[in-house]
Structure 1
Amino acid sequence: MEFSLIFESIFIISIMIALGSLISRTFPFNSDTRKLLVSLIVNIAMPSIILSSILNVEINRETFKMIANVFILSVIINLLGILIGWLFSNTFYRHSTKKREIALLSGLGNTGFIGIPLCAALIGPEGALFAAIFDAGVDITLWTIGVLIIQKNRRFSFKSLKELINVPTIAIVFGLFIAYFNMKPPAVFIELANQLANLAAPLAMFYIGILVMNLYRKKTQDSDQEIWVPIVVKLIVLPACVALMVNYLYLKSDILQTILIQSMMPSLTLASILFAKYSADENMGAFTTVLSTIVALITIPLMLYLFL
């Protein structure tokens, strides 16, 4: 992997985040505009990049085996990050009431909004495909183990599994289904997916930039002392552990690179939404997401330089 491409991609991401921050000055960022942006990203851009990746990659039985490996590794890495975050919070903030938030922010990354477009840019269609499968593992972990951890009464409800039935997940299932049966959609459909896929990175980065400015205006100061734990674990400790782990795995270089890049992603964008839903610290979720995204612009190329 060429490091000039890595720095170029990170630079472009930084510019798009900055543009999002500037755009936020031109309109009020409320629940309606937030829902609109999230809907465009989750329901149009992300499914398009997933379908585009699947339709531009030759998928056979061996590919399906690799997809299963990526999914399993994703769940293992997510749980490892949660465990490390929990151990760090118990070590440094034993009496904290936010151990649950710290654990989830340490293990679950922004593998959808940032990870899939970045893997597509650095690795190509195969990278985007495996990144989407990795993100599906994050979703599974979030809406099962994550919900169980964040709830105070520790009761799991199958109603939370409804969140797994979303457009990106449907796109993965549909795309793999037509690939498995060697069904070729019309050329116009493939071209539409390719063009809409180009929306993913700009829209996601604009959204992050808007979050940065919105949080700056609020000047949130809660949980300032504790947020260093999920940031350090998510951006440095977990990727280092994953880099050591993948050395013992006999997988294609594209898969190993995708797994490593996805492990370096900043904290989950949906964290503040999840925390609000289950009466956890929503401000901590938003603040950690934004700050870890900014720090990740430095740590991602650094970690890739060290481990690739």
Structure 2
Amino acid sequence: DKKAVLEVLTIFGSTTFFGIPIIAAVYGELGVMYASIFNIAYRVFLYSYGYIKMSGVKVDKKNVAQMFLNPIVLATFLGMFIWVFQNSLPQITVAGKEYAFLRIDKTAFWLFRPMTYLAALCSPLAWISIGAKLADISLKEAFSSKDSWIYSFIKVLGVPAINIVALYILNVTNILPISFVGLATVVIMMATPTATVAAAYAIKFDKESLMTSNCSLLSTVFSVVCMPLWIVILEVIKSLEIFG
């Protein structure tokens, strides 16, 4: 259980709440677009592979269909469809500009606003659950967890470094050319702390929930400290002009 939980916690980070705002601040709209595309595949794997590992369900036809028919996965693909084909969908004029009728951020703000509020509740609710678990132990005990420290080091420093090496090899061999902003997006998204959904899985399925809460706490602190370091390293890489 511990191995499976640490595996999932290492793969998935808090990309939406933690990663995208940093990318938006440093790399602007282009970075946000790359981060959003990154999140499509991320969400599919989080709600399929992540769910399988944490719940312990068997991979059979019934369960695979159930996972890919998950409302969040369906909504992710629906959102991508609307984004790609928005100019081909029926248009509605709003304030002198035309938008696809499914662009509810422009055409049905009364619906979009409450949905935005609901979306923002996900992470705080997961933090409440994490805090409830941490309330069972002292802060000193949480910070003395060896497994949590090792995890935080690997998650925030090791995983992004591995991605830099892998993407460099793919770039110089021309197998997968990538721009600097693309590289920076991947590194920052992978350097984020524990994903709240992954932590919620651990608590829901009672798999190392206390260790997961420790990991979430320490990796968040670790990520806050190390994120400026990663941005500096990325600027050094940019100055070397290795990536386009």
Question: TM-score by structure 1 length?
Answer: 0.56
> Which deviates further from its counterpart, 115-124 or 158-167?
158-167
State how far apart, in whole Å, the 1-side matches of 2:46 and 2:31 are: 22
Q: Among residues 267, 272, 291, which one is paired with 2:218 in the alignment?
A: 291
The answer for the alignment partner of 1:141 in structure 2 is 45
Give 1:142's aligned amino acid: L
The answer to whether 1:236 aligns with 2:157 is yes
Question: TM-score by structure 2 length?
Answer: 0.69
The answer for the alignment partner of 2:203 in structure 1 is 276
Q: Deviations over 1:189-229 (max 9, x none)?
A: 54959x96997998788668767765554436589232223
Contact 2:134 2:210 (8 Å CA) reproduced = no
State how far apart, in whole Å, the 2-side matches of 1:211 and 1:290 are: 12
* % identical aligned pairs: 19
State how far apart, in whole Å, the 2-side matches of 1:210 and 1:277 are: 13
Shift of 1:169: 4.7
Shift of 1:150: 2.8
State how far apart, in whole Å, the 2-side matches of 1:296 and 1:128 are: 19
Contact 2:134 2:214 (8 Å CA) reproduced = no
Give 2:155's aligned amino acid: K
Shift of 1:235: 0.2
The RMSD of aligned alpha carbons is: 3.6
The answer for the alignment partner of 1:305 in structure 2 is 232
State how far apart, in whole Å, the 2-side matches of 1:128 and 1:296 are: 19
Give 2:216's aligned amino acid: T
Change (3 A) 1:288 1:240: same
The answer for the alignment partner of 1:75 in structure 2 is none
Q: Deviations over 1:135-172 (max 9, x none)?
A: 22222222222233334464351222333436455333
Gaps of 5+ in 1: 1-96
Secondary structure class of the residue paired with 1:280:
coil
Q: Deviations over 1:66-90 (max 9, x none)?
A: xxxxxxxxxxxxxxxxxxxxxxxxx
Give 2:220's aligned amino acid: T
The answer for the alignment partner of 1:247 in structure 2 is 168
Contact 1:116 1:131 (8 Å CA) reproduced = yes
State how far apart, in whole Å, the 2-side matches of 1:293 and 1:251 are: 28
Give 1:100's aligned amino acid: A
Q: Among residues 98, 105, 111, which one is paired with 2:9 in the alignment?
A: 105
Change (3 A) 1:254 1:186: farther
How many residues of Structure 1 are paired with residues of Structure 2 in the alignment?
A: 210
Change (3 A) 1:254 1:98: same
Shift of 1:279: 3.8
Contact 1:269 1:286 (8 Å CA) reproduced = no
The answer for the alignment partner of 2:190 in structure 1 is 263
The answer for the alignment partner of 2:34 in structure 1 is 130
State how far apart, in whole Å, the 2-side matches of 1:132 and 1:112 are: 9
Contact 1:110 1:266 (8 Å CA) reproduced = yes
Query: 1:149-188 maps to which residues of 2 (within 5 A)?
Result: 149-152=53-56, 154-156=58-60, 157-158=63-64, 159-163=66-70, 164-165=72-73, 167-178=75-86, 181=88, 186-187=93-94
Secondary structure class of the residue paired with 2:193:
coil
Secondary structure class of the residue paired with 2:146:
coil
Gaps of 5+ in 2: 96-104, 172-176, 236-244
Contact 1:114 1:201 (8 Å CA) reproduced = no
Contact 1:119 1:258 (8 Å CA) reproduced = yes
Change (3 A) 1:211 1:136: same
Contact 2:134 2:213 (8 Å CA) reproduced = no
Secondary structure class of the residue paired with 1:124:
helix
State how far apart, in whole Å, the 2-side matches of 1:278 and 1:219 are: 20
Contact 1:275 1:285 (8 Å CA) reproduced = yes
Contact 1:275 1:281 (8 Å CA) reproduced = yes
